[in-house]
Amino acid sequence: MKKILFLVTFFYQFFAFGQFALDTIETSQGRMIIYSDRTWELVSDIGFDGVLNEQIYNRFSNDTLLNFVQTWDNEVCFTSEKVNDLSKLKDTVWLCLGDSIHSKFIMPFDGYVTSRYGYRKGRYHNGIDINLNTGDTVRSCWSGKVRYAKWNDGGFGNLVIVRHYNGLETFYAHLSKLMVAPNTEVKAGDVIGLGGNTGRSRGSHLHFEVRFYDAPINPEEIIDVATKNVKDQNLFVHKGIFRPGAKPTDYYSTSDEHGEAVAIVTKPVTSTKKYYKVKAGDTLSEIAGKNRTTISKICQLNGIRQTTTIQIGRSLRVK
């Protein structure tokens, strides 16, 4: 009888999982299946559909006019193959960035921003770059589950993608080392990788993105980099925040007597940009002095280095 049960179990594991299961063991995360090719999988992950936020998933999966796609795939960056068109959104969708169980937020790395979200060098920069040194620890900003952790040929280098319970996904790129595996559950602040300079990168830094159904959102729409915390636990998603180069907006909501959000008012941040046209003989030091700023600030605003040769006639942003 034991032999029959063994054979049944063997064939079930072989055909159900597409490979030979050598053993099962108990771990701190649950029962794990060890396969013949030295890979492993948690029993709880078998058949996992990727849904961590039922409310948001049902909101979009039931809307046949949008046809948004979001699957669970450990092998591709964008599970929708970039077919989701967030410009079709007609309503404002409320996301709670942190609930009573998953309320914590941790900045991925405590560094200064060297390049911001928006149009840069002929293409859109879909996240922010945070200065760090190779080997510095990078952490998951919210709790969730690792969807992708591998080398990416699209320019990200070593990349970790975490899907969160609030409905967002975050990207951590150019890592020197991956410290998590796909399908691993992580808490806010858990180490997921080490900073580096892999992929399409010049100098060690963390490229950090926030995406909703594959569409990038300006991280500074959500995060106050100065205080290293979220601006508001309530994120109101509408098509305007997905426009290329969208700038941060101040949001505040009104509530009814039960404390439920019933309206939202937006106030665009007023622009205080200032530019300076480079003249013959100008140096970064002189330009900074004339405009009462610093060389590092000019470099940060323009995505350049202190050693960059500045062409005469170029307009540099100084504020």
Do 142 and 262 lie in a common domain? yes
3-class DSSP state of 226: coil
Residue 54 in domain: no
CB 130 within 8 A of CB 174: no
pLDDT 10s digit of each residue in the chain, 319 long?
444 444 444 444 444 445 666 667 776 666 767 766 656 566 566 667 889 999 999 988 888 888 898 999 999 999 988 788 888 888 899 999 988 788 899 999 999 999 999 887 778 899 999 999 999 999 999 999 999 999 999 999 999 999 999 999 999 999 999 999 999 999 999 999 999 999 999 899 999 999 999 999 999 999 999 999 999 999 999 988 987 767 676 544 444 444 443 333 344 444 456 888 888 888 888 888 888 888 888 887 877 887 788 788 787 888 8
What pLDDT is stored for residue 30 in this prediction?
Answer: 61
Query: Residue type at 276?
Result: Y
Residue 94 in domain: no
Residue 179 Cα distances to 71, 131, 175, 191, 227, angstroms: 23, 20, 10, 7, 26
> Token match 């098509």: residue?
239
Judge residue 240's burial from the number of C-beta atoms within 10 Å of its C-beta, 0-12 exposed, 13-18 middle, 19 or more buried.
middle
Do 151 and 237 lie in a common domain? yes
Task: Give the DSSP H/E element, type plus range, for residue 60.
Answer: helix 54-61
Do 8 and 132 lie in a common domain? no
Range of the domain at 157: 113-268
What pLDDT is stored for residue 12 in this prediction?
Answer: 46
Residue 166 in domain: yes
Count of the separate structural domains present in the chain? 3
